[in-house]
Structure 1
Amino acid sequence: MLNKKNMQLLRILIGFSALICSIIYGKLYSNDELERLEQGISRIHLNDGDTAMLTSFYDSGKVIVLKIGINGLNRDERQFEAKKSLYKKQALKFTCKNKVLEKYLSSGKRIQVDLNIEGNSVDMFANFNLTTARCGKFSL
């Protein structure tokens, strides 16, 4: 039979074990979400062989910040403005329709998206902020 002290130790051990399991599960689940997000971004339709990739993901609690790098885009090319507009529309559509990001939007978080020329994270060519209400205004 367990005495009072052993019973308290058992309760502490069970509580600690539950905490460790929930931390491990949360970490594995967030890694899976990030992987699905990276895969989705890599499938954004771009022109001329340009590719998109997630270069940064940050959750500040109220705001999700996505940095998407476009590989193959060059500010010096003639079609830069047209491509910039297309890539912004594609990123907007992706952000509002993606299941992982939809979960963040529906919980009241705002999503900030920065589109950069890959390889130069400070060379941002587009930036926008989205909420559930703003996504609802677009006919995607």
Structure 2
Amino acid sequence: MHRFKWLFQDDRASTGGQGSVRIAPPDSLRFDVMGPFGANPTAAVVVGDSSRWVRPEDAVEQMIPNYPLMWAMFGIVRQPHPDAVVRGFRDQESTVWQYARGVDTVEYARLERGEPKLMAIVRRAGEVVGLVETRLSDDGVPLKARLIV
């Protein structure tokens, strides 16, 4: 189980809280989050790219704009869809993947130079849906993640 703190900021407001996630490889997780002083508790079970159980029902869509971005926040690169076109590159300091399917593109970069990190960017019809940068420990455990939408 990973415990984390979260912070949401936009042009109008800022709020934060704490949460936990339990991951069952290769494609399942349960996460629980709450706001300040335990306000607005939310829980969800996610399998692959869909939520199976969410309380309150619309919580995942409000918090996470895209499932590959959510998984990247926890340091996990999702497998591409069987129909996806996959490209990649690897050298001593980085591994980069791109999955394209229809109008959707998901790009990942695992950077090993300095502090290890996983970056992900998702585009739909060329428009950026979001970007994740996750700092990792040397053994791949997520230390800090940032989602930009």
TM-score by length of 1: 0.30
Using CA pairs under 8 Å that are at least 6 residues apart, name the structure with larger relative contact order, 1 or 2: 1
Decide which structure has greater strand share.
2
TM-score by length of 2: 0.29
Decide which structure has greater helix share.
1
Q: Which has the larger radius of gyration?
A: 1
